[in-house]
Each structure stands twice: as structure tokens, then as C-alpha cells.
Amino acid sequence: MARLTTPLTDFYAVIPAGGIGSRLWPLSRADAPKFLHDLTGSGSSLLKDTWDRLAPLAGEQRVMVVTGRAHRAAVEEQLPELADLNVVLESEPRDSSAAIGLAAAILEKREPGVIIGSFAADHVIKGTRFFNMAVAEAVEAARAGFIATIGIVPTEPAIGFGYIHATEETELEGAPSALKVDSFVEKPNAHTAEEYVESGDYLWNAGMFITKAAVLLEELAKTQPELHAGVVALAEVWDDHAKRGPAVDKIWPTLKKIAIDYAVAEPAAAAGKLVVIPGEFDWDDVGDFASIAKLHSSGYKKDLAILGEGARVLSDASSGILITDTGRTIALVGVKDIVVVDTPDALLVTTTANAQKVKSVVDALRISGRDDVL
Amino acid sequence: MARLTTPLTDFYAVIPAGGIGSRLWPLSRADAPKFLHDLTGSGSSLLKDTWDRLAPLAGEQRVMVVTGRAHRAAVEEQLPELADLNVVLESEPRDSSAAIGLAAAILEKREPGVIIGSFAADHVIKGTRFFNMAVAEAVEAARAGFIATIGIVPTEPAIGFGYIHATEETELEGAPSALKVDSFVEKPNAHTAEEYVESGDYLWNAGMFITKAAVLLEELAKTQPELHAGVVALAEVWDDHAKRGPAVDKIWPTLKKIAIDYAVAEPAAAAGKLVVIPGEFDWDDVGDFASIAKLHSSGYKKDLAILGEGARVLSDASSGILITDTGRTIALVGVKDIVVVDTPDALLVTTTANAQKVKSVVDALRISGRDDVL
């Protein structure tokens, strides 16, 4: 397959930038969600990195961001090339089906027949060339009428991701590696994960969906007719600024909160309409601090990863990850696989093994009314 | 022995309040040394607790504090009953022989024949009645011409303390439990510590010395004649305010830095002039965070001790100690035997097992010129 040098002409990238990333508290907050942070040390946020991957594929004028009203200023600051037309603001979070469904409906109305690709704003990808190749194949599959996803070839029996089971080849033109998706499976236990990886028949579900907007809307209409009607009604008036506001106020809060995986991907897979392109690039959803630590360890688990500009850190016989933005002097002495996240109003100390439990801290803080630090 | 109800008439208590407590960084600092902190949760500082133990024994007008000029305001604020006459300010730290020697020389000049007792400002004692009984015996031994120390009956084979070896009874009148000190021994290793405790012939060296001021000065004159001459010269002019300042400026910086243990106690023990009263009370030098954690655990090692007013802490499956004075929300998740010390400009994360290594952090910070956080 030739390397992509020009944008895919009928392709539109959609970036739903919604989730807070509770497992990354106190770094991620309601007003500073995960996608606005630089978790890779690249110097730019995950959102900007996502933009930088997609803009060359779709063209700068053809990347849409769906985000909360509260994040508009931050998003526009980080993405100065983002066109006003391509900013879709949610008045409140209604999960991914509403966000992606609305984007699909708006784009289909503006440009009937358009192919859209939805990519999370807060994942990490290394290996742009292989990513581009996978997207190109996915676009070909979408053009043939399928909903295409890109599944990551597992590098280890991860238990933190969902998997995609796919064995049957499709022989689609322009998408030689596409496989029919048999089913999506939830995060497995360690034993099952090992079986998955050994079999070679499972890929990680990275939540990327590439499809004709019309096909996605068609599927949504079958499984979630009210939700479909809602996003189509919103799209009808979206580009009429006088009507958009009242329609959003009226319709958006009524939309069902449901993940796109359940509303579209799984039913489409069951109906034989979903294909997967295996992606041979490094991918991580950086879902918790353990995964950020791994990202920075370069395989050397004995090291301490330090994130934070101008961090004044003294580390002795310590490993894990330290994230700081307070300018304080920080000393770590003899703490292994530690996670320390130091922010002006909140401090977290845990271990990489307990990284998934951070969400329960956020739940507990919410229950006790401590929204000031959430 | 009768319980003490009135002060010992010829007794003067001396509190050298000098050491910073490097192992308690970043809680203890040059400008906020260990003795100014409440480490017991009593609501008052270690210095105030020390005062509260000694003032009833000696009388409020007969407790002298030797401290650095920089701490004068804090000391006077914490000890409103402390008489001006009893504040001895060091222009710079010159170790305990200079501090206690100067106090002895001043008090001997003011009140020839006085018995002084020197007690660290930053130790923790529980069991005042047994402490008082030990002091009363020590004063009797001092009256008989001995230098008396109070050695703590060990409750475990601690490796963080020095020990006192003593077996020979003295049959001193008024000091029935006094034993001749055979020798002082340095902090032992774990195996030796166990032998010490099993033998029953060793006590912890708590650095308390009770003696006629004249006897202490006499011993000092033998082992450290220049130091002795210096403190006596200072004492000569101490109560002449016009002469004190110039004398301090001239003499104090020249005094040899040496611990009272080496300058007086060990030579006196070798000469058979030192007796020890076994103290049956709880004592700790709270030398590191592990010892503070132990102090607060009440024997329940699985608990997390929290020090800090208004601390907003969320702890899940964690143990050890958390000290905070920042008002931040702090979450500890699955960290065992942890030590977290959270101050506005510095943060320490270590474990109780590594508590002694904190001093090396302070050394490293000093070497790298980071005196702003020391």
C-alpha cells in the first residue's frame, strides 16, 4: 500500500472530546479533562496530538471536534486551525452515541455521502505511518458500505481493554487486511486475555469507527430511533444560528446516554456489517496512571517517570511515576512502583497496582460533596 | 517514694532547644525545627510539652531555655511563662556541650551550688509520675556529687538509640534505684540490640543529665579546657547587658562543637562519676517519621496516622503516617507503611522502613544549594 501523501477527499475526521478521565484524578478534572493534558511528554496535549494525526489525513478544514461548552476556549486555544464550523458544543455530556451521532447527522446534511472517522481525543498512538495505512483501508471499507473499526494487534494480554474477535477475511478492494468482526468482548480476566492473545484472533478495541455518516445514522435509527430522531432534528437546524440554540436546549438533554459501541458497533457486528482493520501501531488509552508510567518507562520498570515542567524532584531508590505542577520540591525515598500526583489543591499517592482504584476516590469525593476538587 | 507535690528547691531545669531534626524534613526546617512542632497530637509543641513536665518540678522561674536567636520569638510565644532571665540565645549552633556548659556556668554564677537538669526540647515522654520519680532520684544522686542520667528501660531492641550499660548498684541515699554507669554504647545492630535487651543490663540513652552545675563544669574543664574557659568567660559578663553582646560575638563562634555525651558523660562514666536512674516511663526521641507513626498507631500498624488540623484525607487500604498542613485534599490508595509529609513548598513520600534515609535527602538538598526548602 502506498504511503498517503494527500488527504482522503471524501473523509471527515470527528474527535469526540468528552470524557474527564476519572482514573487520572487529580490530574484530570471536570474543568481540565484528560484530553487537555500532555501525558506523553510530547509538549502538546493528547487532543493536539490527535489533531496532528488526523488533520493531514482529512485536511485541516475537515476535522470536527465535539466537546463540552466549558472546554470550548481551551480546545480552540490548543487547536488554532480548528474552523468554527467544526466546533460542536454539548450543553451537557450525553455519551458517545449522541456526540458521534450528531456529528454524523450534521456532516451528512452538509455533505451527503461523506465518510466520517471517529477517534478519541485522549488516546496515545505511536507509529503514524501504520495508523495512516489502517485509516486508508478503513475508509475503503466504509466506501464499500461497511462500518469499519481499527483493532490494535495486542502486544500483551492486557486486561484493561475490550477485545474484538475477528477471523473471517473479507477480500474487500482497497482493504486487503479487513476482517469481518464476529463480536466485541468486554475486558477479560488475565487468563482469558492470555487465551485471546495466544489465539491470534483478537484485537484491542480502540473505539475508532470509520463509516459513511449515512450508514451510521441508518444503524442508529434501527437500534435507537429516538436518539436518531433527536440528532437528525438538531442537524436540520444546526447551521441556522437562530434556531440552533433553542433546539439544543430542547432536544439535547432528552437524548439517551449510551456508548456508540452498544448503540451501533455491536448490533452492526451481529448483522455482519462491521469489519476491522488490524492496526500494527502502538496504541494506549492511557486510562490510568499505571499506563502513563508504562508509557514513560520505555520498558525500564525500575525508573521513575517524572512529568511536570520545572519539577524539582529528588528521587532515591524509587520507581513509578510522579506528576507535578506545583513547583514544590518533592523527595521520593525508597518507594517502588509509586504513583504521586501533586496538584495545587489535591494530592494522590498510590501504586501502579492500585491505579484502577483511583476512580473510587473520585466517586467517594463526589458522594461527600467535594466537587471543588473534582 | 512519695509523689512530688512541691518543686525541688535547689534544682534548675535547662532545655537545650537546638537541633533541627533533619530526619523530619520537610516538616522540620531551619526556621521551624522539630521542637516547635506538635508531633504527638497533644495540641502543643514538643517544647511546650517539655516545659509542662519541667516547670512543676523546678518552678516556672527556674526553667532555662537555650536556643538559636532565630527561634526566640517562637519560643517566647509558646512559653509565655518563660522569664527573660532564662532565655539564653545562641548566635549560631555550637552543639550541646557549649549550650549546656554555658547554661551551667551562668546558673552556677548566679546561684552557687545549684543542681541543673538538662532535658532535650524535642523528645516525647508519657508517664509523668514515673518521670518525676526518676528526676527526684537523679537530683539526690547529683546532690551526692554524681552526674546522674536517666536511662529508659527498653521496651524493644531498638536500633535507633544509644544504650547505657549499668549493673552495679550504688545504694545512694534518696536514689535507691541508681546504678553506676559502666559505659555508653553507640546505636547497635539488630542482633546486638536483642542481646542488650535480653541481658537486662542496658538502658536507652535519653540524653538527660542531672548534676551540680559545678561538677559539670569541673568535668568540662578537664576534657575541654578551652570550651570550659569560653563558657565561664561568657557567664562572667552574661548578666551585664552592655558586655554580653560583644562577649558572645567574640567567644561563641570559637567554641568547639562537641556533644555533651563525648565531652562530659563518657569521661565521667569512665571515672566512675556517672550514675543512671532507670526510667520506667514511655520515652521516644521521635527521631524519624517511623517513630512518629509508631507513636500514633497505638500498636495498630495497619492504621494510617494523620497529623494536621483540618486535613482532608481519603485513605483506602493504606497505613503509615500522613502529615499535612496545606489544606489540600489528599488521597492515599493501597499504600502500606507509607510516610507522606505535605507542606506548602515541599513534599516527601517514603516508607517507615526508609525513614532514617530522609537525612540524606536534606544533605542532598543542601549540597545542591536548595536552602530555600531546608
The pLDDT assigned to A6 comes to 58
Determine the Cα angle at B242 with ends B237 and B243, to 5°.
Answer: 35
Q: Write down the pLDDT at residue A373.
A: 87
Looking at this protein, which amino acid is placed at residue A236?
Answer: E
Could you tell me if A279 and A320 lie in one domain?
Answer: no
Nearest in space to A321 (alpha carbons), one of A300, A351, A282, A285 = A351
**B232 & B340 share domain:** no
Residues of B in contact with A346 (CB under 8 A): 328-331
Cross-chain residue pair B328–A348, CB shorter than 8 Å: no
B344/chain A closest Cα distance in angstroms: 7
Q: DSSP E strands: which ranges in chain B?
A: 11-17, 63-68, 87-90, 115-118, 124-126, 147-152, 163-169, 179-185, 202-212, 274-279, 282-284, 304-307, 312-316, 320-324, 329-333, 338-342, 346-351
CA distance A26 to chain B (A): 9
Residue of chain A nearest B342, judged by CA positions: A347
CB nearest B346 (choices: A317, A329, A361): A329
Closest CA to B340 of B308, B372, B302, B373: B308
Residues whose CB falls within 8 Å of the CB of residue A285, separated by 6 or more in sequence, listed in order: A120, A122, A123, A124, A160, A161, A206, A207, A291
Closest CA to B201 of B152, B162, B167: B167
Contact flag A314-B361 (C-beta cutoff 8 Å):
yes
A345·B328 Cβ contact <8 A = yes
B342: cell is 505535605
How high does pLDDT run on average in chain A? 93
Mean pLDDT of A73-90: 96
Whole-angstrom CA distances from A51 to A44, A64, B16, B372 are 11, 10, 64, 42
**pLDDT attached to residue A42:** 83
Residue A88 has pLDDT above 70, yes or no: yes
Mean of pLDDT values over A332-348: 96
The per-residue pLDDT for B141 is 96
Among the partner residues A335, A345, A346, nearest to B349 by beta-carbon distance: A335
State the maximum Cα–Cα separation within chain B, in Å, rounded to a whole number: 62
At residue A302 the predicted structure's pLDDT band, cuts being 50, 70 and 90, is low
The confidence band for B97, taking pLDDT boundaries of 50, 70 and 90, is very high
Residue B43 CA to residue B45 CA, distance in Å, equals 7
pLDDT on residue B320: 94
Segment A51-73 mean pLDDT: 96
Size of interface A-B (CB pairs under 8 A): 120
Segment B51-96, tens digit of pLDDT: 999 999 999 999 999 999 999 999 999 999 999 999 999 999 999 9
Q: Quick check: is B5 in a domain? A: no
* pLDDT for the residue B41: 81
Asked if the Cβ–Cβ distance from B347 to A351 is below 8 Å, we say: no
Lowest-confidence region among A2-6, B41-45, B156-160, B268-272: A2-6
The answer to whether B139 and B133 have CB atoms below 8 angstroms apart is no
Asked if omega into A225 is within 30° of 0 (cis), the reply is no
A335–B338: do the CB atoms touch at under 8 Å? Answer: yes
Of A116-120, B8-12, B369-373, highest mean pLDDT = A116-120
Residue of A nearest to B345 (CA): A328
Range of the domain at A359: 289-373
Q: What is the pLDDT of residue B7?
A: 67
Q: Give the residue-averaged pLDDT of A316-333.
A: 94
CATH code, domain with B205:
3.90.550.10
B6 confidence band (pLDDT: 50, 70, 90): low
pLDDT at B276 (0 to 100): 98
Question: In angstroms, rounded to a whole number, what is the distance separating the alpha carbons of residues B186 and B200?
Answer: 17
Instruction: Report the pLDDT value the prediction gives residue B295, as an integer from 0 to 100.
Output: 85
Q: Kindly state whether residues A144 and A237 are assigned to the same domain.
A: yes
Q: Is A193 exposed, middle or buried (0-12, 13-18, 19+ CB in 10 A)?
A: buried
A191 and A254 in a common domain: yes
In this structure, are B277 and B309 located in the same domain? no
Please indicate, yes or no, whether residues A142 and A256 belong to a single structural domain of this protein: yes
In this structure, the answer to whether residues B99 and B193 fall within a common structural domain is yes
Does B99 contact A at CB distance below 8 Å?
no
Angle made by CA atoms B189, B274, B53, in degrees to the nearest 5: 80
**Calculated CA dihedral for residues A45, A49, A55, A56, nearest 10 degrees:** 150
**Statement to judge: residues B231 and B350 lie in one domain:** no
Domain count, chain B: 2
Q: Are residues B189 and B79 in the same domain?
A: yes
What pLDDT shows up at residue B12? 97
Comparing alpha-carbon positions, the chain B residue that sits nearest to A335 is: B350
Q: What are phi and psi of B373, to 5 degrees?
A: -110, 15
In a domain, A5, yes or no: no
> Does residue A255 form part of some domain?
yes
Query: Residues 261-320, chain B: which have Cβ within 8 Å of A?
Result: 312, 314, 316-317
- Please compute the mean of the pLDDT values over residues B100-119 and round it to a whole number: 98
Please give the Cα distance from A358 to B1 (Å, whole number). Answer: 58
Question: CA nearest B329 in A: which residue?
Answer: A346
Task: Tell me which DSSP letter residue B155 carries.
Answer: S
| pLDDT of amino acid B310 | 73
pLDDT band at B301 (very low <50, low <70, confident <90, very high): low
Res A4: pLDDT: 52
Interface contact A366, partner B, CB < 8 A: no
B19 and B89 assigned to the same domain: yes
What are the chain A neighbours of B25 within 8 Å (beta carbons)? Answer: 331
Give CA B320 to chain center in angstroms.
24
> Got the DSSP string for B41-66?
SSSS-HHHHHHHHHHHHH-GGGEEEE
- Is residue B224 assigned to a domain? yes
**A195 and A344 fall within a common domain:** no
Which A residues in the span 335-354 are in contact with B, Cβ-Cβ below 8 Å? Answer: 335, 338, 340, 342, 344-351, 353-354
The yes-or-no verdict on residue A299 having pLDDT over 80 is: no
Grid cell, residue A333, equals 525515598
- Asked whether residue A255 carries a pLDDT value surpassing 50, the answer given is yes
- State pLDDT tens for residues B198-253: 999 999 999 999 999 999 999 999 999 999 999 999 999 999 999 999 999 999 99
